[in-house]
Amino acid sequence: MSPRVVFPNKILPYLLVAPQLAITLIFFYWPASQALRQSMLREDPFGLSSKFVWFANFKKVLSDPNYLNSIQVTAVFSIATAAVAMGTALLLAVMAEKVIRGRGVYRTLMIWPYAVAPAIAGMLWLFLFNPSIGSLAYGLRWLGINWDPLLDGEQAMALVVAAASWKQISYNFLFFVAGLQAIPKTLIEAAAIDGAKPTKRFWTIVFPLLAPTTFFLLVVNTVYAFFDTFGIIHAVTGGGPGKATETLVYKVYNDGFVNLILGDSAAQSVILMVIVIALTAIQFRYVEKKVHYG
């Protein structure tokens, strides 16, 4: 048991937490309850007529093939983004360990992309791969690839995955570097003396010892891919072609703010809220408790 702080009077502790409570109530509970209410209403954009429909909006959303499609899109997008972002970051972090001269400069440069806003990152990649003016698109065509992300759904997906993971590599890199530094050198040296090659040393010693970091990053990257990539998708594909890159978050925006179907959009955001709560619970339960550091 952690030691309990004892306050001299009963009101003071409540006063001290009041600001935090107020912020949570105003910026989380109030909008969340509004979303919940809206999700059970069916009304016109101007709110001139509204009808309470219980869970009809949820039923409609969950039976909509487009919604199921967007779940699938989100799954593919999140897994691909997390895999690419983490894999590349791990490779770079391991390589950075081997750099002796200018290690600081190298690491600083690696962290830069994290400071770029998602929409800007999206625009950057959009320009590089724009079928008519992009320099990298020109290169792809020269290689004989029929590059047309405007019509080819898979290429569009590849493009948003590349942009989204590129932005997240820096963050992952930082954590992997820190994780690598925490691994005792003696273990690696002992293995080297026993004759284990670098690859063997990595997979049998470094990688398992990095597991806590990897698991933490997996959760963070999944949350990032789910909720933080709206700007990139909005700038690069707008959910197209067809509905090939319409993720759950993008669909909430599209149905609510473009198509003005507030009930459906609210129902979708409530479903997303449940997913966030689940992800956060997993993170607290497993990352904070089961994983031991060091």
Residues near other proteins (CB under 8 A) are: 42, 44-49, 130, 132-133, 150-153, 238, 240-243, 254, 257-261
Least separation in angstroms between residue 167's CB and other proteins is 23
Least separation in angstroms between residue 49's CB and other proteins is 8
Nearer to other proteins, 40 or 93 (CB): 40
Report the C-alpha gap between 4 and 6 in whole angstroms: 6
Concatenate the DSSP letters of all residues of 228-245 into one string. Answer: S-HHHHHHHTTT-STTTT
Identify the residue whose tokens are 């049998």: 204
Output the six-digit token pair for 153: 């759904």
Report the C-alpha gap between 272 and 135 in whole angstroms: 37
Report the C-alpha gap between 15 and 68 in whole angstroms: 46
Least separation in angstroms between residue 84's CB and other proteins is 24
Contacts of the segment 39-46: beta carbons below 8 A, 24+ positions apart: 39/263, 39/266, 39/267, 39/269, 39/270, 40/263, 41/262, 41/263, 41/266, 42/263, 43/262, 43/263, 45/260, 45/262
Output the six-digit token pair for 224: 């990032």
Nearer to other proteins, 97 or 152 (CB): 152
* Residue at 77: amino acid letter: F
Nearer to other proteins, 2 or 49 (CB): 49
Q: Which of 186, 201, 217, 189 is nearest to 94 (CA)?
A: 201
Report the C-alpha gap between 57 and 62 in whole angstroms: 9
Identify the residue whose tokens are 């990053």: 217
DSSP category for residue 183? S
Least separation in angstroms between residue 44's CB and other proteins is 7
Q: What is the dihedral of CA 179, 185, 188, 190, to 10 degrees?
A: -150
Nearer to other proteins, 222 or 265 (CB): 265
Nearer to other proteins, 49 or 186 (CB): 49
How many angstroms separate the first and last alpha carbons of the chain? 23
Report the C-alpha gap between 273 and 263 in whole angstroms: 15
Nearer to other proteins, 13 or 242 (CB): 242
Least separation in angstroms between residue 243's CB and other proteins is 6
Nearer to other proteins, 65 or 195 (CB): 65
Nearer to other proteins, 157 or 169 (CB): 157
Least separation in angstroms between residue 241's CB and other proteins is 4
